[in-house]
Amino acid sequence: MSLETDLRARTRGAGQILFVAAFLGLSVILLSQIAAQTAWIEKARSFAAQPRFWPAVALGTMVVSLALHLWQMTRRRPRREDWQEARRWLEPVEYAGWFMAYVFLVPWIGFLPMSLALACGLSWRLGYRSVRWMALAAAFALGTVLLFKGMLGVKIPGAVLYEALPDGWRGFALQYL
């Protein structure tokens, strides 16, 4: 083996060009906003005591090192496997979307119905589609609601949907569901 082969990084190369380019762009954007997002104090003890000094050093270092890394890369054009890797990085965003929909809809539909929908929906999405798994997901959601609202007494606002219930059910739903 040659010295050059020994020094070569033994990491996956797929997606590296996109990763470096994306973070270089993000670093440049953040560095361009440093004056608007940080303060300059006229009577600071020293230059290093300025609130924008160390963030600017960190972002400047990121921009320079990422630009040098991008410049040193042997191939600079993204290939098909780079885009496949980037798609893999974005897969977890789907689950953040599920959670954001849950958080947005709880005040409208209610904690128990949305917990049931989320648990069963995620189980279905992950491939656990039998009656047994759906029942376990529903039991988990019910247990979560009982734990948080019943035993721990967490105050979760009642849903708009509960206002349509008859008087006796409305009070129960607002208190326990």
Residues 105 and 170 in one domain: yes
Query: How would residue 28 be classed by pLDDT, with cut points 50, 70 and 90?
Result: very high
Residue 4 has pLDDT above 80, yes or no: no
Distance CA 177, CA 163 (A): 13
Residue 10 has pLDDT above 70, yes or no: no
Residue 8: the pLDDT is: 57
Which of 49, 70, 90 marks a domain boundary? 90
Which of 39, 58, 90 marks a domain boundary? 90
Residue 94: the pLDDT is: 92
Which of 58, 90, 122 marks a domain boundary? 90
Residues 44 and 121 in one domain: no
134-146 tens-digit pLDDT: 999 999 999 999 8
Q: In terms of residue numbers, what domain contains 136?
A: 93-176
As for how many domains the chain has, the answer is 2
Question: Is pLDDT larger for residue 177 or for residue 72?
Answer: 72
Query: Which residue type, as a one-letter code, is found at position 99?
Result: F
Residues 83 and 108 in one domain: no
For helices 93-109 and 111-125, angle between their N-to-C axes, nearest 10 degrees: 150
Residues 144 and 86 in one domain: no
Question: Is pLDDT larger for residue 115 or for residue 72?
Answer: 115
Q: 98: which 2 tokens?
A: 């599920």
Residue 5 has pLDDT above 70, yes or no: no
Residues 142 and 82 in one domain: no
> DSSP character for 129?
-
Query: How would residue 97 be classed by pLDDT, with cut points 50, 70 and 90?
Result: very high
Residue 108: the pLDDT is: 92
Residue 175 has pLDDT above 80, yes or no: no
Q: Is the four-CA dihedral 66, 71, 74, 75 of positive or negative sign?
A: positive
Angle (CA) 54 59 60, round 5°: 95
Residues 63 and 43 in one domain: yes
Distance CA 50, CA 150 (A): 50
Residues 72 and 101 in one domain: no
Q: pTM of whole model > 0.75?
A: no
Residues 83 and 106 in one domain: no
Residue 37: the pLDDT is: 87
Residue 71: the pLDDT is: 86
